[in-house]
Amino acid sequence: MPNNTAKMPTLDWNDLQYVLAVARDGAYAPAGRRLSADPTTVARRVRAIESALQTKLFERAADGEIRPTEAGEVVIARAEIVEAQIGGLSEAVEGVDSAVSGSVRVTSVPLLLNRVLVPALPTLLARYPDLRIELVADARDLNLGRRDADIAVRLARPGGLVGNRVFARRIGMLRYAVYAPKVCKDDASDLPWITYEGEMAALAPARWIDEAARRGGGLAAVAVNDAESVLQRVQAGLGRSLLPRIVAERTPGIARTDFDGAALLEREIWTLTHPDVRHLARVSVVLTWIEATLASGEM
């Protein structure tokens, strides 16, 4: 009796490259440049794959960008596994020491990057002189899928949209305390609270500070849009505020002060990496360094 069960066609790596390129670039033209092919060829190959799988892998969004369908996300996740395995072959046969070379692009919120990671860089680079670190101080969620960064350090659990396309790992906790100008640390209860401007009101530290200000002290006459600016205003003597201990404890001119109100804030620290690169020795080394450097954040 003949077997009429439909079988999913076997795709080779050359087919899957076109799917990944379109997923990462959001359009046929840049995907073609990535693969040294014209946009027509990219579109034709994607349609051929869709025909073979009998499902649509991409759809065009209102902004004109081509985005994966639910079925496309499944195919992309499998294709990335294949790509990582192929890309890891050369690394697997080389010595680990010789592989710790080349560039690794790291993004993090400006305060952690500039005040914690940058001062720790000399030790890392002295051990791995062929390593090149590109640091991107940005609070936005850069697109790891499009290689805007190899590693992202974030202060919240990744949302559901991350899915299988990014490897996320919680590496510790960022603990906060209240800090005031050093000359006022023993009498800081009447100092105003330095907080964030309106567009940043949803941030966890901003919500905590606004609640504390209602308990006493009120808000300072100045509001800022990032934690670095908060730190500088406290240093300038304009008031007190909530700051990460890993940064504030090593900042001159300010001191931790007692606070009897709400429980102090704690935030999770996460690293995000793309499956394409997390197996690389240079990326693994930098991930280990980041985790060790930020471990003191649990002080």
pLDDT in tens, 161-218: 454 567 888 888 999 999 999 988 778 888 999 999 888 888 889 999 998 888 888 8
Give the number of other Cβ atoms within 10 Å of residue 114's Cβ.
15
Give residue-wise pLDDT tens across range 70-113: 988 888 888 877 777 666 555 554 544 446 888 899 989 899 99
> What pLDDT sits at residue 264?
87
Q: Which of 125, 121, 150, 106 is nearest to 293 (CA)?
A: 121
How far is Cα 27 from Cα 65, in angstroms, rounded to an integer?
6
| CATH 3.40.190.290 domain residues, the chain | 95-299
> What pLDDT sits at residue 251?
93
Give residue-wise pLDDT tens across range 234-283: 999 999 999 999 999 999 999 999 887 768 889 999 888 877 787 888 99
239, with CB counted inside 10 A (0-12, 13-18, 19+), is: buried
> What pLDDT sits at residue 116?
94
The CATH T-level fold of domain 13-92 is: Arc Repressor Mutant, subunit A (1.10.10)
How far is Cα 298 from Cα 204, in angstroms, rounded to an integer?
18
User: Cα 16 to the chain's mean position, in Å?
Assistant: 26
> What pLDDT sits at residue 86?
66
Q: For domain 95-299, say whether CATH 3.40.640.10 is its number.
A: no
How far is Cα 218 from Cα 93, in angstroms, rounded to an integer?
62
Q: How many alpha carbons lie under 13 Å from residue 121 in its C-beta half-sphere?
A: 14
Q: The whole model's pTM is what?
A: 0.63
Name the DSSP letter for residue 113: I
φ/ψ of 75, rounded to 5, equals -65, -40
In DSSP terms, which residues pair with 181 in a beta bridge? 254
> What pLDDT sits at residue 126?
93
Tokens of 165: 């396309």
Task: Please give the residue that has the higher pLDDT: either 54 or 84.
Answer: 54
| CATH 1.10.10.10 domain residues, the chain | 13-92
> What pLDDT sits at residue 97?
42
